[in-house]
Each structure stands twice: as structure tokens, then as C-alpha cells.
A and B are shown apart, each in its own frame.
Chain A
Amino acid sequence: KAGVTQTPRYLIKTRGQQVTLSCSPISGHRSVSWYQQTPGQGLQFLFEYFSETQRNKGNFPGRFSGRQFSNSRSEMNVSTLELGDSALYLCASSFSPAGSSYNEQFFGPGTRLTVL
């Protein structure tokens, strides 16, 4: 079974631009969560999608948005990029949105975004 895939793996943008990152979950998984990882703030939850609906949201500005498609693939978008948006963006997939002992989250390798 293929794991979580994220594209692209690396991305370089300039301030003010916007970017779209993609995440394909494990087959059969319908929940996708996004996390931002930076040296200063660590790993922070961005949002979670299940059945094309945002189920949970972290404390990030509205410049960060996401969506999920009917095939469970998810994209996140960051508009008006700032230098501080440089980070590793991780996607995790799971079978359902409910935390339980049977609902392990599997992480992808991440997309490394550099904002110049």
C-alpha cells in the first residue's frame, strides 16, 4: 500500500506570491491533516479535512487555507507569502477524523517551502 505522498517536495517562492501544496492520502483514508514545522515554533497544527469539510482548524491567519477533493486528496494554499512562512509542511492521513486507538495518523515526507 502506497504511503502518503506530498508534492512538490521542495519549493522556492518570493514574498507576496502564493503557493499550493498537494497531499495524496493513503488509499481508503478520508481524513487529511496539515502541520507546519519550523525551528522556532516546532510542529503546529494547521487544519484537518474529512469528507471535503474542514473539521478542525489551528491558530493560523486566513492566508492559510485548504480544501479536500472527493477522492480525499487535499491541497493547502498560502497567499501573500511572508518570510516566516518558510517551513516544512507535513500532511497526515487517517481513516477517520475521530481520535481513537484504531485511527493512526500516517505522515508524508513533507514539502519544504522556502520564501525569499
Chain B
Amino acid sequence: AQSVTQPDIHITVSEGASLELRCNYSYGATPYLFWYVQSPGQGLQLLLKYFSGDTLVQGIKGFEAEFKRSQSSFNLRKPSVHWSDAAEYFCAVLFTGGGNKLTFGTGTQLKVEL
């Protein structure tokens, strides 16, 4: 079955520390991959996306993600976290033939300690 897993429900990091949020998917081919961020009371904002090509993709707000086919992973990283990065982060997948139907992971709530 097609699925997306975010193993970490909550993560706490200190401001200025590096961040890595994990995302794994289960699918027989390479899907389209996305990371979204949601602040309280807000909709979802796209951070970055991977469709093909270079496996390291750069996004907004200093985020990057690396696609690893062998591990079926698409982990989100940031070298130095800012207090304003505190939010919930969702990994999402668009499976082939699914139109615009996004399948989301359960989300990772990021807390930033000052």
C-alpha cells in the first residue's frame, strides 16, 4: 500500500542548532515529494519539492531536503534553526496517476528552545 511515514511526532531543538526531520514513503516507483509547514491557525505552505533530477533540493526559509531512493526517504534539513521555525511540518507524496491527491505523513511538531 502507498503510505508516508514521519517517525518523529515531536522534536525539540535549541535555536541555532541543526535540524533534520525524517520522512519515508512506501511505493513501487518514485513519487513526487513535498515538505509543507503549518503554523498555528494557518494553512499549509510549501517549503520545497522533488520531482526528478538533483536529489538535493533547496527550498524557502533556508530549508533543504535530500531524496534517497535506496532508503525511500526524503528528509528535511536546516543548518541553523530560528525560533520562528517552530511549527508543524508535513511530508507529502503525490503518487503517479493520482492527479493532485496528496498523501500526507502524520506531521512533526517542532519546538525551538531559546
Contact = CB atoms under 8 A, between A and B. Distances in A.
A94 interface: yes
A48 B43 contact: no
A41 to B, nearest CB: 9
Contacts of B11: none
B101 interface: yes
A70 interface: no
A4 B43 contact: yes
Nearest to A112: B41
A108 B45 CA distance: 9
Contacts of A66: none
Contacts, number: 66
Interface residues of B, number: 25
Contacts of B94: 99
A104 B36 CA distance: 12
Given A90-B43, A110-B43, A45 B51 contact: no
Contacts of A90: 43-44
Interface string A36-75: 0000001111001000000110100000000000000000
Interface string B31-55: 0100010000111111001011000
A56 B98 contact: yes
Contacts of A106: 46
Interface of A: 4, 31, 33, 35, 42-45, 48, 55-56, 58, 90, 92, 94, 97-101, 103-110
Interface of B: 32, 36, 41-46, 49, 51-52, 90, 92, 94, 96, 98-107
